[in-house]
Structure 1
Amino acid sequence: MILCDIGNTYIHFCDKYRIWKNQPERIDKEKLYADIYYISVNAENEKKLLKAYKNSYNIAKIIEFDTSYEGLGIDRKAACLGVNDGVVIDAGSAITVDVMHEGKHQGGYILPGLVTYTKAYKQISSALDKQINFGISLEEMPLDTRSAISFGMLKSIVSCIGDTIRDKKAYFTGGDGKFLAKFFKESIYNEMLVFNGMQISIDRALNKHKEKE
């Protein structure tokens, strides 16, 4: 069994403890023979997976997650399932932040991802088309354009997330999760977070099925 998380930019796979990702247009380059159980936030990328691998099954219906949040993404539900108390941050194309307390979802919000931020600056002016300086200090005022962009981008994200975390534990996942986690003392980076939630849902569904037999 292979688990699959279909995002807007990449399609992520998990075979037990091995995780890898492929660009949607290149997933048919790899031969996968096991059944694939997936969730998806991108319909077009989902079609590409189904075209490449006929033995793929959407498990969104078995992911049970109690929340009052309308329209919560299936990937966010999966990520939150494995956290009883704390803040769940999935930093990908967008940065989603969700708060869990005693196993209950308290709500959450969405920020632009780092790549999305850089594209926004570029749209303002070609002079702002700069790469992120990942080594910048957030304690000193910038003295050049690249640093100014990087500072504004990271400071706004870190400050917003920090205001939510406060004294809670923070669980980071996603492509930029490991980088963002370093700004917070009480942080844990877990690239398996979404896949853990998917596995929890599969196990629960199997147990319910056994109980009915």
Structure 2
Amino acid sequence: MILCDIGNTYIHFSDTYKIWKNLPDKIDKKQLTSDIYYISVNPLNEKKLLKAHKNSYNIASIIKLDTPYVGLGIDRKAACLGIENGVIVDAGSAITIDVMNAGNHVGGIILPGLVAYTNAYKSISPALEKRINFGMDFNELPLNTQSAISYGVIKSIILTIRNIVGEKKAYFTGGDGKFLAKFFEKSVYNEMLVFNGMQISINNALRKNMET
């Protein structure tokens, strides 16, 4: 069994031994050696997976999360399922921040991802088309445009997350999650959060079927 998380930029896969990602137009069919159970936030990329591997099954209907939030993304539900208490930060194309309390989802917010931030600067002026400098000292005021943009992007994200986290434990996942996690003492980086939630849902569904 292969688990699959279809995002807006990449399609992520996980089996018993490894995880990997492919661009939607460059799916490595050789690695798809068994049935695929997936969730998706991008219908177009979902079609590309189904074209590459027919034995693929959408499991969105079995992923259940107690929440008053209307329209919570299926990937966010999955990421939250394995966390009883804490803040889940999924830093990908967008950065989602969700709060779990006693197994219940109590709310969350969405920020642009790091690439989206840099694209926003570029849309203002060609002079602001700069890459983020991840190695800069974020405790000092910037003295050049690249550092100024990097500071503005990273600090705004960190302070927003910090305001929500407070004294709670933070769980980071996603492509930029490992970088952001280092700014928080009570943090864990786990690239398997979404896949763990998917597996929990599959196990729960199997258990219910056995009981009926």
TM-score using structure 1 length: 0.98
Q: Which runs of 5+ in 1 are unaligned?
A: none
- Partner letter of residue 206 of structure 2? L
Alignment of 1:119 with 2:108, yes or no, is no
Q: Write the distance in 2 (CA, Å) between the matches of 1:188 and 1:17.
A: 21
> What SS does the aligned partner of 2:109 have?
strand
Provide the residue aligned with 1:61 in structure 2: 61
- Aligned-pair distance for 1:30? 3.1
Q: Write the distance in 2 (CA, Å) between the matches of 1:74 and 1:33.
A: 25
- Aligned-pair distance for 1:17? 3.8
- Partner letter of residue 193 of structure 2? L
- Partner letter of residue 187 of structure 2? S
Q: Write the distance in 2 (CA, Å) between the matches of 1:91 and 1:113.
A: 7
- Partner letter of residue 33 of structure 1? T
Q: Write the distance in 1 (CA, Å) between the matches of 2:201 and 2:29.
A: 29
Provide the residue aligned with 2:36 in structure 1: 36
- 1:152-163 aligned at under 5 Å gives the runs 152-163=152-163
Alignment of 1:131 with 2:137, yes or no, is no
Q: Write the distance in 2 (CA, Å) between the matches of 1:58 and 1:44.
A: 14
Tell me, yes or no, if the aligned pair for 2:6 and 2:46 is still in contact at 8 Å.
yes
Q: Write the distance in 1 (CA, Å) between the matches of 2:118 and 2:32.
A: 35
The Cα offsets for residues 86-127 of structure 1, whole Å up to 9 and x where unpaired, read as 000000000000000111111000000001101110110000
* Alignment RMSD: 0.8
Runs of 4+ off more than 2 Å: 28-31
Tell me, yes or no, if the aligned pair for 2:84 and 2:104 is still in contact at 8 Å.
yes
Alignment of 1:48 with 2:59, yes or no, is no
- Partner letter of residue 180 of structure 2? L
Provide the residue aligned with 2:140 in structure 1: 140
Q: Write the distance in 1 (CA, Å) between the matches of 2:171 and 2:28.
A: 32
- 1:180-199 aligned at under 5 Å gives the runs 180-199=180-199
Q: Write the distance in 1 (CA, Å) between the matches of 2:137 and 2:88.
A: 24
TM-score using structure 2 length: 0.98
Q: 1:33 to 1:17 in 2, by over 3 A?
A: closer
> What SS does the aligned partner of 2:27 have?
helix
Aligned pairs, how many? 212
- 1:70-89 aligned at under 5 Å gives the runs 70-89=70-89
- Aligned-pair distance for 1:31? 4.5
- Aligned-pair distance for 1:135? 1.1
Q: Write the distance in 2 (CA, Å) between the matches of 1:8 and 1:75.
A: 11
Q: Write the distance in 1 (CA, Å) between the matches of 2:85 and 2:184.
A: 17
The alignment-based identity, stated in percent, is 70
